[in-house]
Structure 1
Amino acid sequence: MIGLIVMGQTIVRAETDDAEKTNSEQTAEDKAAATIKEIGTKYIAAFNKKDAKAVADFWSPEAVYTDEVTGEQFVGRKAIADLFTRLFESDNDSKLDIDVQSIDFLSPNIAIERGAALYSSDPHATIPYSAIYIRRDGQWLLDRVTDKEPVVAEKESSSLEPLAWMIGTWTDQSDGVTVDTVCDWTSNKNFISRKFHVAIDGEDDVMGLQLIGWDANAKRIKSWTFDSDGGHSQANWSQGKDEGSWYAVKSGVTGDGRRVSAVNVITPVDDNTFKLKAMQRSVDGKMLPSTPEVTVVKQ
């Protein structure tokens, strides 16, 4: 009997110790998660101030950033700082917000955060991401971040009618460059066909075809573009929350094999005019300045 009592006390004590240990570990993880969320808030502030150095300081010296859409990788804090420097130079207006969906701990010093990023330049799309944090010398740092393909929220409709205003012949001219575009429905109205012709100083330069359609699987408007130089791209389209500007988030390859990406912003002004500009442009990972906004007129 005494043996059973002693054994019972030992079991109870062991269970109590295990429970206290579990609670202690849980408390430590909760504190670490709160710290990581606070770091995320400071990261957003540095990004929105366009402070590339401050943003890069949140990353470990050997960190890796991967963009799954373009396939590009940037390795090391310096490369990441250079990336943000170019990004901020090309797009100084876009603001970042982050929705943290989960933080899981692989060990006391390694955590993986999952969530979605939202940029004001494309308010209808969210970019799912995963971020691995490591704790080094008591400080949590970003070590691996992967951005996935944007998820675009579309209206529950398969119709292209919201883009019907594009049908017609359009021209824009700037700095010796003339772009003529003819837009028309395909026979069954499942696609909008856009044939474009670019002339520089009166000489033919590039011709191409773009098809805009509804992707029933992804439930979004998409486009596919092919040009006479052999380049091709595709884009996800979404309309701003105010139902004004359209945002076409594109990625593709030039005729000579370079990877390109951009956000084209199309803003209708009236029945015969719209504005067009390209933001967040990159070629083989090198950020380029946004293009000046041009006015496109219906003929």
Structure 2
Amino acid sequence: MRSCLLFMVAFSGVAGPAMSARATELQTELSARFAGYLSAFDEGDAEALGRFWAADAVAYDDATGQVTEGRPAIKEEFADFFTRHPRARLTGQLDTVRAIRPEVAIGEGSVTLFVPDDEPTRSAFTIVLVKEGGTWVIESSHERELPQPTTPRDALQDFAWLVGDWRDESDAVDVRTKIRWSANEAFLIRSFQAEYKDAQGIEGTQVIGWDPRDRGFRTWIFSSDGSFGEGTIAKQGAGWLIKMTHVGGNGEVSAEGQLITRLADDAFQVEAIGSTIGGMPVPASDPVKVVRVVADQAASAAVGGTR
């Protein structure tokens, strides 16, 4: 049932470099719908999922030419799918949303369907959303298969622009980073050094790779203070969300979210969100801008012992 790939992402949110007040309001509405949709999908509730579609909705599978018309047919397809695959799950993101009129929007994104004992299936979609009785529903959807990366290097091309030397624009800490390809270009390796004004500096290594089984990005980090961590990287709107779990040198466990947004070829922004230490929330920090260091500056820093 290929059309099921669209269901969860129709309400996952809106992203853009500078969202208007209306776009922010729309994002809030769709995010709330998304949470309810995920619960219904996880429970295998075809009846509840059908209510996320308009009564006269149409779902198009561009790869096979299959067309499913009307909410009753969509619910029936859901019910049949969950009978055959009761433990299926779905992940993905809605990359962009454009408001056409106050009660009409177009969204684009991608999803991955996981079925036990089968290979994950990744697809891209375009959907039309309409607001009926104050509630957003899917009026039409087009889905198409996405080609699977044949090598880790192919999968990591979204991050290839990061290769080079970087420096944080921060008054609190001097962070210098170098990102390079591993042998055979199978991984991206980030080496970093942080020097604090009133604390001991640290250095470390981070590895970013592609998981061909889960069709997603994974990352591991090791620091000179004895801490280490691992996590995942997923597309979120115009940026990338890194979710990490860390174990400190003293055994304390922390969790951290970082939203990485590309500003230009030579700059990106890092924003810490949803972090906890020992289970206690940590206040969000101001975004930090990271800029590329040109070759001669990087060489000078290395000679001077800064890196």
TM-score normalised to the size of structure 2? 0.49
Structure 2 CA distance, aligned partners of 1:124 and 1:291? Answer: 30
Distance 1:265 1:205, change over 3 A: same
Question: Which of the residues 189, 194, 201 maps onto 1:205?
Answer: 201
Question: Which of the residues 159, 164, 167 maps onto 1:168?
Answer: 164
% identity of equivalent residues: 26
Structure 2 CA distance, aligned partners of 1:176 and 1:270? Answer: 24
Structure 2 CA distance, aligned partners of 1:176 and 1:207? Answer: 16
Structure 2 CA distance, aligned partners of 1:217 and 1:267? Answer: 26
Distance 1:120 1:103, change over 3 A: closer
Deviations 1:16-47 (A, max 9, x none): xxxxxxxxxxxxxxxxxxxxxxxxxxxxxxxx
Residues 1:283 and 2:277 aligned together: yes
Q: 1:239 is matched by which residue type in structure 2?
A: K
Distance 1:193 1:286, change over 3 A: same
Deviations 1:233-281 (A, max 9, x none): 11111112x5x20111111211111111121100011110000011000
Aligned pairs for 1:1-299 within 5 A: 95-96=31-32, 97-98=35-36, 99=38, 100-101=40-41, 102=43, 156-157=148-149, 158=152, 159-201=155-197, 204-240=200-236, 242=237, 244-299=238-293
Alignment length (residue pairs): 176
* TM-superposed deviation, 1:210: 0.3
Structure 1 CA distance, aligned partners of 2:93 and 2:218? Answer: 20
Extract unaligned runs of 5+ from structure 2: 1-27, 46-86, 96-108, 115-119, 124-145, 294-307
Structure 2 CA distance, aligned partners of 1:280 and 1:270? Answer: 25
Q: 1:263 is matched by which residue type in structure 2?
A: G
* TM-superposed deviation, 1:173: 3.2
* TM-superposed deviation, 1:292: 0.9
Q: SS at the partner of 1:160?
A: helix
Distance 1:116 1:261, change over 3 A: farther
Q: SS at the partner of 1:161?
A: helix
Distance 1:185 1:124, change over 3 A: same
Q: SS at the partner of 1:247?
A: strand
Deviations 1:127-171 (A, max 9, x none): x9xxxxxxxxxxxxxxxxxxxxxx997963242111001101100
Q: 1:255 is matched by which residue type in structure 2?
A: G
Deviations 1:166-213 (A, max 9, x none): 101100132331110000001210000100101012875111100101
Distance 1:125 1:227, change over 3 A: farther
Distance 1:263 1:115, change over 3 A: farther
Deviations 1:96-120 (A, max 9, x none): 423213379xxxxxxxxx9989999
TM-score normalised to the size of structure 1? 0.50
Is the contact made by 1:152 and 1:236 (CA closer than 8 Å) also made in structure 2?
no
Is the contact made by 2:93 and 2:111 (CA closer than 8 Å) also made in structure 1?
no
Q: SS at the partner of 2:165?
A: strand
Structure 2 CA distance, aligned partners of 1:177 and 1:290? Answer: 17
Q: 1:297 is matched by which residue type in structure 2?
A: V
* Structure of larger gyration radius: 1
Is the contact made by 1:209 and 1:226 (CA closer than 8 Å) also made in structure 2?
yes
Is the contact made by 2:177 and 2:192 (CA closer than 8 Å) also made in structure 1?
yes
Distance 1:287 1:195, change over 3 A: same
Q: SS at the partner of 1:175?
A: coil
Structure 2 CA distance, aligned partners of 1:120 and 1:297? Answer: 27
Q: SS at the partner of 2:160?
A: helix
Q: SS at the partner of 1:188?
A: helix
Q: SS at the partner of 1:256?
A: coil
Residue in 2 aligned with 1:9? none
Distance 1:95 1:288, change over 3 A: farther
Structure 1 CA distance, aligned partners of 2:121 and 2:287? Answer: 24
